[in-house]
Amino acid sequence: MNYWPCYPFPIFLRITFTHIFFLLAVSPSLAGTPIHNDPKGFLGIPWGVPLADRTELKEIDSVNIVRIFALKDGRAEIEGIPMESMKLYTFEGKYARATFHYRGNHTHESLMNFLEAQFGKIDVAQGGMMRGLNQQYTWRGPDTEITLTYHGFRERGFLTAESRILAPLYFHAFPDQAY
């Protein structure tokens, strides 16, 4: 018995078209905001340069080919905005990532204003949320990716700036069982 007249499309075609539609509808919101004027580094330090010879930094940890640095004076800040902590990571001796922890809604708003002024106004996808208990914003350039995550309930935030070329190599440096 032929069921084709009852169903205009076979089930696998409906599922395929549904998946394609979903990917096309969602993919722009996953892409992040493009960076205007990619800095090709962070904190005025270009990606790929060695950090070991910088006098204002001290090495605080190393694992395999990854070395972690912090400021000697301990005063972590971005453009005058105080941070709780700052770590700079190198991969095979090349600067690849910077991470910052901060606290407080005022600090978050100041940091958000700075990042939008520096890298471009954040794009909010249709149906997306600009506010909420957990917020995540991403700016992507050809060489740099900056991600800001803020947990409103605890008023804690995390900023990551990383080289789009060097940072993915971290995943190849550590086995899956290392975490």
Span 11-67, pLDDT tens digits: 545 555 454 544 444 444 455 788 888 899 998 999 999 999 999 999 999 988 889
CA–CA gap between residue 100 and residue 76 (Å, rounded): 8
More confident: 46 or 129:
46
Burial of 62 (0-12, 13-18, 19+ CB in 10 A): exposed
Opening angle at CA 130, ends 35 and 123, nearest 5: 30
User: Mean pLDDT throughout 157-168?
Assistant: 92
Predicted structure pTM score: 0.75
> Taking 60 as the threshold, does the pLDDT of residue 9 lie above it?
no
Q: Quick one: pLDDT band at residue 145, thresholds 50, 70, 90?
A: very high
- Report whether 59 contacts 69 (CB < 8 A): yes
Alpha carbon of 116 to those of 53, 80, 112: distances in Å?
Answer: 32, 16, 6
- Report whether 88 contacts 95 (CB < 8 A): yes
User: Which pLDDT score, from 0 to 100, does residue 130 have?
Assistant: 58
